[in-house]
Every structure is written in C-alpha cells, then in structure tokens.
Copies of this chain bind each other. A is one copy, B any other.
Amino acid sequence: MRLVLKAALVGSVLVFALPAVGQFAKPEDALKYRQSVMFLQSQHAGRINAQLKADKPNFQVIQENVAILDTVNKLFFDAFPANSEMLANTRAKSEVWTNPAKFKEGAERLNAEVARLAAAARTTDVAATRAAFGEVGKTCKGCHDEFRRE
C-alpha cells in the first residue's frame, strides 16, 4: 500500500514537472517555435508589402512569399499548448487559453485571407492585391490587439 502510494505520488510529481505541451518536448520549445513562426510571417509579409509599395510590383516575388506565408501561417495555432502560457518573455495574453474558440477563429480567418491574397496575386492586379494584403494586415492586427501584450 505504501509502495503503491509512493509510486502514485512520484508519478504525479513527474506529470507536474513535465507537463504535456502539445507536440513540444518542453514549454520553452513551444514559445521558441511560435516566435520563430511569427518572425517568418513578419519577414515574408514585409517582402510582400515592399513589392506592393513599389510602382511596378514584382508578382513572382509576391506569389513566392504568399506561398511561404500560406505554409507558415498554419503552424502557429498549435504552438500555444496548455502549460506554455506562464513562460517568461511570452507576449501571449491569457485570452489565448481562456478563449480558444475566438483564437481559433482568428487563425482560420488569417488562413482564409491569405488564400484570398494568393488568388488576387495570381491575377497580377495591383489594386486587388493591395486590397487583399490590407485585409491580411487587419487580421494580423486584430488578433495581436486581442491576444498579444504590448
């Protein structure tokens, strides 16, 4: 009985010390992963923006960067597992975990807006692509306002 209790206690201590963090070996990996993804998002959005500010945007460059965005955008949503909310240096607000449905809605909206941007970029219509990119930017900002600390 004593041994069983001891084993159970050791077991629960281990569970507490090594919490499940989704697909990540440790909570810090989840933070580093989502920061990595978001940095790539900002860089590739920046490259698209630079083209769209030019007089004659290079649509091949835009399309390549939209394709990269489309892949990396899909990575961040799963990088906020339970037990990764209390990390030092995270800018994620607790609302990510207390209102997961709304957070998911934002992630899905981003994917939809990037798909629209990809479609606009394929037409090589500058005004349409600028408008679609504007919607992507609004979606980023909307989520950041709600789920990210200053």
Contact = CB atoms under 8 A, between A and B. Distances in A.
Contact of A40 (B23, B43, B46, B75): B75
How many protomers of this protein does the assembly include? Answer: 2
A68 B68 contact: no
Interface stretch (A2-10, A11-19, A30-38, A120-128): A30-38
Nearest to A65: B23
A91 interface: no
A75 B65 CA distance: 11
Q: Which 5 A-B pairs have the closest CB atoms?
A: A36-B36, A71-B71, A36-B39, A36-B40, A33-B43
Interface of A: 23-25, 29, 32-33, 35-37, 39-40, 43, 46-47, 67-68, 71-72, 75
